[in-house]
Amino acid sequence: MKNLLISIFLGALFNSILGNFMTVPEGGAGVIITLIFAAFSYISLSLYKNRKRKKRTFLQEKLDKNTNKTD
């Protein structure tokens, strides 16, 4: 849920920034553009957190394996 809220915020932020440099449609088209940016940021955030979790798990397993050898 936290990732979803962050991604919606980032989507709105990207849409706002893009609106300063280009003409962004108002109404329904603007909402769709915001949702597209939110989807990209959600996917990116999920992939980043998943990669970080896998790395942490790998390092923890390696540490556990090394501590079991010394026992």
Residue range 36-55, pLDDT digits in tens:
778 888 888 888 888 888 88
Residue range 54-63, pLDDT digits in tens:
888 877 887 7
In the predicted structure, residue 65 carries a pLDDT above the cut 60? yes
Residue length of the chain? 71
User: Residue 7, class by beta-carbon neighbours within 10 Å (0-12 exposed, 13-18 middle, 19+ buried)?
Assistant: buried
Sign of CA dihedral 11, 31, 27, 29: positive
Report, as an integer, the average pLDDT of 9-22.
74
Model confidence pTM above 0.85: no
Contacts of 37 (CB under 8 A, 6+ apart): 10, 11, 12, 14, 15
Looking at residue 59, its amino acid is L
